[in-house]
A and B are shown apart, each in its own frame.
Chain A
């Protein structure tokens, strides 16, 4: 079975500071990894995904993530955050043969203050 751990439930940061949101996964098969963002009272929006190839993945809104197979991690980073980045961020994993549902982490709330 696959699982995702997001150790930080909440990350406060000042505007224009860098941020890293941590994600670790567990899987016995090849994985596909995703980061989704959820703004208040909205659905989830894909930030970026790792399927294969280059381990550094660039997404929308200036976010990037690095797939590290040896550490089973897929941390999300942004060099300079904005107030508008305040949201809930979910890491998710799927993979294997046939249909494998997305397994989400419990989410990290990013709070950006002036």
Chain B
């Protein structure tokens, strides 16, 4: 089945030690998103890629970076994780049917990576 896969499911890192989370998709969708979800909260969009165009949310800390080397893969880099960055990180994809407005497309989510900071 076509899907969105996140690795690893659980990641433990040390305070201040860089960490990378990965996401791959077999849906061939041109839009990919990264969300942060803290316990008992709604997902919060960090940034998204429209093809190779990177779109950062205004309130996303500089500590968070992203790379998309090709259509299938997207990475979330946290340069110096703090205790407040412990959360579930969700990757999602959507398609864009040839129109400028792709907000009406449903998003397909991976199962997330739960990040713990020691």
List A residues at the B interface (Cβ < 8 Å): 32, 34, 36, 41-46, 49, 51, 90, 94-102, 104-107
Contacts and interface: CB of A to CB of B under 8 A. Distances in A.
Most buried by A among B6, B106, B111: B106
A99 B101 contact: yes
Contacts of B108: 46
A94 B41 contact: no
Contact of B110 (A43, A101, A105): A43
Contacts of A36: 109
A32 B111 contact: no
Contact of B42 (A43, A90, A95, A101): A90
B57 A43 contact: no
Contact of B104 (A46, A95, A101, A107): A95
Given A32-B103, A42-B111, A102-B103, 9 more contacts: A36-B109, A41-B112, A43-B109, A43-B112, A46-B106, A49-B104, A51-B104, A101-B103, A107-B41
A36 B35 CA distance: 14
Contacts of A107: 40-42
A46 B107 contact: yes
Contacts of B106: 34, 46, 49
B50 interface: yes
A99 B101 CA distance: 6
B4 A43 contact: yes
B99 to A, nearest CB: 10
Give the top 4 A-B pairs by smallest Cβ distance, nearest first.
Answer: A43-B109, A104-B42, A94-B103, A100-B103
